Amino acid sequence: MKKFSSSQNANRLDDVIDNLKENGYINDTNYIQRAVNEFMAINTLSLREMKNKLYAKGLDTNLTENYFIEHEEELEEYELNCAKKVIVKKQIQLEREEIERFLYKKGYPSSCIRKAYEEIE
């Protein structure tokens, strides 16, 4: 970023970024969608963990929240399935209270944890 420290270079950089956005090369909404799909494919993340990863990338909070609202049903189903996977995997070595604490620390809401246990039992 030091290369763009002069106001003239900074203005040029802003123009390039605006041009890339206009031509669809930079699109935060598409990035959020791709990132969430990748998270869902390879991890058992809670929705809160996903959001935190997206916020850490510097994405607009409103865009991220809107995406999660628009895909709420699908994402909640994913989160429930992930909670069930974790419960089944951890049941061998941990007590129920320890698993619940683990899931809660990972950002799973207590309602999701309860429902996951109900569906497993």
Fill in the DSSP letter of residue 92: T
Reported pTM: 0.79
**pLDDT: is 45 or 10 the higher one?**
45
For 47-92, how does the pLDDT look when each residue is reduced to its tens digit (9 = 90+)? 999 999 999 999 999 999 999 999 999 999 999 999 999 999 999 9
> What's the pLDDT score for residue 3?
52
Of 110 and 5, which is predicted with more confidence? 110
Burial state string for 81-107 with b = 16 or more CB within 10 A and e = fewer than 16: ebbbebbeeeeeeeeeeebbeebeeeb
pLDDT-derived band at 8, boundaries 50, 70, 90: low
Amino acid in the structure at residue 88: V
Query: Please, what is the average pLDDT of the chain?
Result: 89
